[in-house]
Amino acid sequence: MVSTEKNRVFPYPFGEHDVYRYSNNAIPLNPPIAIEVTESYIEEMNLKRELLKKHPERCYYSEPHTMGAQWEALDLILHQLAKYYPETFKLVTNDDHWIFTNQQTGEKQSFTFGDQSTLNMEPLDFVGRHVQEDLILMMQRDGDLFLDAGQLCFPANWSLYFDAGMSFKEIHTPIPGFKSESLDERILQFLMRIEPGSPWWRKNWSLMVGNRLDTSLETFAEWGQARKKVTKENVGELVHLRVEVQKLFRLPKSNGILFTIHTHMLALEDFIQHTPWLKQFSAILKELPEFITDYKGISLYREVVLEYLEGELKKK
């Protein structure tokens, strides 16, 4: 794919402002589609399944009471795959007898909807193996949301194993300023008001050295060291903008929230081809307070990136 094509499909994360701060940046999702199939579909499916096989304890978690929500998530996603990507996915439903076909992986699965014994794994685990998104179920009770199930293969430096069962605020404790500015409480209240049929979405961004999708907290020793290797010679190729497209769907029967995360990556050398992005991102990165660069893990090489971006800007 030529760089302009890569840029065309890349979910650029910034709005009109040249300043970035943490905020509730969720907006209504129109059209209300939870999943996106990109050209790296097969590559990512293979990687996901390999990770699930090798590290089930860090890639999958569920509490028994999430089974209803899991079937709802499967229902929503399989119907959307068949509706929006009919050339690749087929779904035939005859009462509770369902047949799902994935032409890209060459798989066909018959099962009885609602009966886990007819699938060879839990519904959330099954459906997650057919989409590029990571899938998290937040269950609502006692005026709060809890991470009670999830399939997570591509985390940006966090751990499903560690966060399992935590509340929304507990999960977000490491983020500087979230609690002191009551952002955690405001976002929690917003989430608890999400209604069925009216999903929301937001984009989260960071910089990554390399393009590894599996950057779990557990494997930090394998990928974190690369941050020390950024030089002015390799920065364009090595450093990537990592963007997560995150979507939130209320599940009407269980009242849970399905949170989908689709991770996209673009090397800076491709990213800078689009001058308005180069210009705005240089300004944002230059102004970004240290508490955010520290949390995002980019303080170590921010200066090298800035020099690169500003040098490229002069050439335009």
Residues annotated as catalytic are 202
74 binds ligand HEM (CB under 6 A): no
Q: Which of residues 215-274 bind ligand HEM (CB under 6 A)?
A: 257, 259
For residue 200, the minimal CB distance to ligand HEM (Å) is: 8
Contact yes or no for 71/114 (Cβ under 8 A): yes
Alpha helices in 195-271 (DSSP H): 220-223, 235-238, 268-271
Residue 158 vs 161, nearer CB to ligand HEM: 158
Residue 106: how many other CB atoms lie within 10 Å = 7
Q: Which of residues 138-167 bind ligand HEM (CB under 6 A)?
A: 138, 147, 158, 163
Distance CA 312, CA 278 (A): 8
Distance CA 280, CA 68 (A): 45
Distances (CA, A) of 17 to 264, 271, 283, 284, 311: 22, 18, 10, 9, 22
Distance CA 83, CA 79 (A): 6
Q: Which of 202, 212, 223, 300 binds ligand HEM (CB under 6 A)?
A: 202
Q: Which of residues 100-139 bind ligand HEM (CB under 6 A)?
A: 136, 138
DSSP-derived letter for residue 176 is T
For residue 251, the minimal CB distance to ligand HEM (Å) is: 13
204 binds ligand HEM (CB under 6 A): yes
91 binds ligand HEM (CB under 6 A): no
Distant-in-sequence, close-in-space partners of 38: CB < 8 Å, separation ≥ 6: 9, 132, 264
Residue 217 vs 226, nearer CB to ligand HEM: 217
Residue 214 vs 312, nearer CB to ligand HEM: 214
296 binds ligand HEM (CB under 6 A): yes
Residue 137 vs 309, nearer CB to ligand HEM: 137
Contact stretch for ligand HEM (CB under 6 A) within 19-27, 42-50, 268-276, 301-309: 19-27
187 binds ligand HEM (CB under 6 A): yes
For residue 159, the minimal CB distance to ligand HEM (Å) is: 8
Give the pair of three-digit tokens for residue 11.
């979910």
Alpha helices in the chain (DSSP H): 3-9, 41-54, 56-59, 67-84, 123-128, 160-163, 168-171, 183-192, 220-223, 235-238, 268-271, 275-287, 290-296, 302-315
Widest Cα–Cα separation across the chain? 63
Number of residues that bind ligand HEM (CB under 6 A): 23
Distant-in-sequence, close-in-space partners of 131: CB < 8 Å, separation ≥ 6: 35, 37, 77, 81, 260
DSSP-derived letter for residue 272 is T
169 binds ligand HEM (CB under 6 A): no
Residue 41 vs 205, nearer CB to ligand HEM: 205
For residue 216, the minimal CB distance to ligand HEM (Å) is: 11
Site string for ligand HEM, 20-39 (x = CB under 6 A): --x-xxx-------------
Edge-first strand order for the sheet with 257-267 is 27-28, 200-209, 239-250, 257-267, 134-141, 144-151, 60-62
- For tokens 């069925």, name the residue: 196
Residue 71 vs 259, nearer CB to ligand HEM: 259
Residue 119 vs 171, nearer CB to ligand HEM: 171
Binding footprint of ligand HEM on the chain (CB under 6 A) = 22, 24-26, 136, 138, 147, 158, 163, 168, 171-172, 174-175, 187, 191, 202, 204, 206, 257, 259, 295-296
